[in-house]
Amino acid sequence: PAREDWTAERIAAADRAHVIHSWSVQGNVHARPVAGGSGSWFWDHDGRRYLDFQSQLVNLNLGHQHPGLIAAIKEQADRLCYIGPGFAEQSRAELAELMAELTPGDLGMTFFTTGGAAANENAVRLARHVTGRPKIVARYRSYHGATAGAISLTGDPRRWAAEPGTPGVVRMFDPYTYRCPAGHPDPCPVCTGGPHLEEILQYEGPATVAAVVLETVTGTNGLIYPPDGYLASIREVCDRHGILLILDEVMAGFGRTGAWFACDHWDVAPDILTTAKGLNSGYVPLGAMTVGGRVADWLQDHMFWGGLTYSGHPLACATGVASVRIMREENLVENARERGEQLGAGLAELAARHPSLGDHRGRGLFHGIELVRDRDTREPLVPFNAKGEANRPMAELISAALERGLYLSSFSSVLRLTPPLVVTADEIDLALSVLDEVLGIADTHYAA
Ligand code: PLP
């Protein structure tokens, strides 16, 4: 059929019949046909507009249809769409040079991938080769991707379906101060970082551990920010035992938290940094593993055992170069910081009026609100990993927001608030007013 024959109904029908959707029982999928987008908004075929307070999968940092990114794709397409990873090519070289400039510490060499999972796969394999050690410490509240190794690093319940998975992953608790697994004594060994890691290493044998892998700020699993000092404490323990620190900033990197990289907030640099998503807003799939110091030195006279047909894809890298330029020209890291302060102040005001809002936390445009039935006991609105009927309260709140034109998503009882970095002050106000109504529903129906 011709393009004009693809009505919303026809798209929906073909999608239902033939597209396998991520993390879903296919018979339950009713995907909404989308016709277009611009900036912080997307719309359906009937012209209903939605404020994208997710940036899709927290990747669309420059928003929908940024003209500078579209121009970069067209320009590179006219020049050279593809050349094998064995050749040197301008967009690839330029983006790698930019990564060296922007990333913290002495990170300076990049392997480009097609997304976040592949970046983490390569980071872990390389850490094992560099150290000659087998094990990796990862955290429970984490998501590192869906490929075999990355899903084994992941703590989130999506790992369960891939188990037993790849061996050698040891898990530690998260510095989740609102629901600390250690009961949060003062000082708290888990939320301080180092003492908890040190105890795990005592039982695992530090000489068997290649790397600790952390999301600098936990994204998907509930917007968990480490307390000040946490990262430095983990870094110190790693250094003392010759263990590499891998920071996964696939979601938190590239301005999302109001700094170029989330670890910049605490002045801690990893040995290996993984990025994707905001690296080029995903207009063309791209991820990266960037290494420095000991790892970069090692690579000079050892084999790098990794490769991808699309490593350093010119269209993707050209979009990455353009994305960095646009972020600088449009001051988007500053905008993330300023709009984030506005959002944080608005959420504090909502928290004062809505008993269902148990906790709000965030920096830049990386905020979460945690909903509770009772603020004193902190009983969550829905149980951990609730599905189906058990998750109905959260699903209803997300639908109520969508009916009001605000696109949100959740993990357990946490609503994630992660708009594009181009979001305006008016759009933040609009989202806050919809959240006010949605929290009103939560107060009335579920909170004490
Ligand atoms: N790491 C983090 C922190 C993520 O949030 C994600 C995706 O959500 C990934 C890794 C996996 O990235 P991808 O889906 O591009 O493989």
Alpha-carbon torsion (56, 62, 64, 70), positive or negative: negative
Whether residue 223 lies inside any domain: the answer is yes
If asked whether residues 283 and 230 sit together in one domain, one would say yes
Q: Which of 22, 120, 250 to mutate to test the pocket of ligand 1 (most atoms within 8 A of CB)?
A: 250
Q: How far is CA 91 from the centre of its chain?
A: 24
Mean pLDDT, consecutive 10-residue segments, the chain of 448 residues?
90 97 96 97 97 98 98 98 98 98 98 98 98 98 98 97 96 97 94 97 98 98 98 98 98 98 98 98 98 97 98 98 98 98 98 98 98 97 95 97 97 98 98 98 92
**Which pLDDT score, from 0 to 100, does residue 94 have?**
98
What's the CA-to-centroid distance between 159 and ligand 1, angstroms? Answer: 13
DSSP three-state, residue 169: strand
Q: Please check whether residue 214 is in contact with residue 123, taking contact to mean a CB–CB distance below 8 angstroms.
A: no
Ligand 1 neighbourhood includes 416 CB (under 6 angstroms): no
| Protein residue closest via CA to atom 7 of ligand 1 | 145
Cβ count within 10 A of residue 52: 23
If asked whether residues 290 and 360 sit together in one domain, one would say no
If asked whether residues 78 and 123 sit together in one domain, one would say yes
Alpha-carbon torsion (437, 438, 441, 443), positive or negative: negative
What's the CA-to-centroid distance between 151 and ligand 1, angstroms? Answer: 10
Whether residue 111 lies inside any domain: the answer is yes
Ligand 1 neighbourhood includes 366 CB (under 6 angstroms): no
If asked whether residues 148 and 283 sit together in one domain, one would say yes
Residue 126 to residue 62: CA distance in whole angstroms = 31
Alpha-carbon torsion (131, 236, 184, 355), positive or negative: negative
Residue 249 to residue 59: CA distance in whole angstroms = 12
If asked whether residues 235 and 345 sit together in one domain, one would say no
Q: Give φ, ψ of 309 to 5 degrees.
A: -55, -35
- Residues whose CB is less than 8 angstroms from the CB of residue 307 and which lie 6 or more positions away in sequence, other chains included: 85
Whether residue 86 lies inside any domain: the answer is yes
If asked whether residues 120 and 168 sit together in one domain, one would say yes
What CATH number is associated with residue 433? 3.90.1150.10
DSSP string, 18-66: HPPPTTS-GGG--PPPEEEEEBTEEEETT--EEEETTHHHHT-TT-BT-
| Protein residue closest via CA to atom 10 of ligand 1 | 144
Ligand 1 neighbourhood includes 153 CB (under 6 angstroms): no
Whether residue 3 lies inside any domain: the answer is no
What's the CA-to-centroid distance between 402 and ligand 1, angstroms? Answer: 24
Number of domains in the chain: 2
**pTM, entire model:** 0.98
Last residue of a domain, one of 329, 358, 379: 329
The ipTM of this complex is 0.99
Nearest ligand 1 atom to alpha carbon 277: 15
Ligand 1 neighbourhood includes 63 CB (under 6 angstroms): no
Whether residue 23 lies inside any domain: the answer is no
**Which pLDDT score, from 0 to 100, does residue 3 have?**
83
Alpha-carbon torsion (199, 202, 205, 210), positive or negative: positive
Q: In terms of residues, how long is the chain?
A: 448
What's the CA-to-centroid distance between 116 and ligand 1, angstroms? Answer: 5
What's the CA-to-centroid distance between 117 and ligand 1, angstroms? Answer: 6
Whether residue 420 lies inside any domain: the answer is yes
If asked whether residues 55 and 169 sit together in one domain, one would say no
What's the CA-to-centroid distance between 122 and ligand 1, angstroms? Answer: 14
| C-alpha distance across the termini of the chain, in Å | 55
Whether residue 21 lies inside any domain: the answer is no
If asked whether residues 103 and 169 sit together in one domain, one would say yes
What CATH number is associated with residue 317? 3.40.640.10
What's the CA-to-centroid distance between 131 and ligand 1, angstroms? Answer: 25
If asked whether residues 368 and 284 sit together in one domain, one would say no
What's the CA-to-centroid distance between 161 and ligand 1, angstroms? Answer: 17
If asked whether residues 294 and 433 sit together in one domain, one would say no
Last residue of a domain, one of 300, 329, 358: 329
- Whether the ω angle into residue 393 lies within 30 degrees of 0, i.e. cis, is no
Q: Give φ, ψ of 292 to 5 degrees.
A: -140, -175
If asked whether residues 299 and 368 sit together in one domain, one would say no
If asked whether residues 94 and 203 sit together in one domain, one would say yes
Per the structure, the complete domain to which residue 184 belongs is given by 68-329
Last residue of a domain, one of 299, 329, 359: 329
Nearest ligand 1 atom to alpha carbon 276: 15
Whether residue 6 lies inside any domain: the answer is no
**Which pLDDT score, from 0 to 100, does residue 1 have?**
74
Ligand 1 neighbourhood includes 126 CB (under 6 angstroms): no
Beta 209-215 vs 244-248: how paired, if at all?
parallel
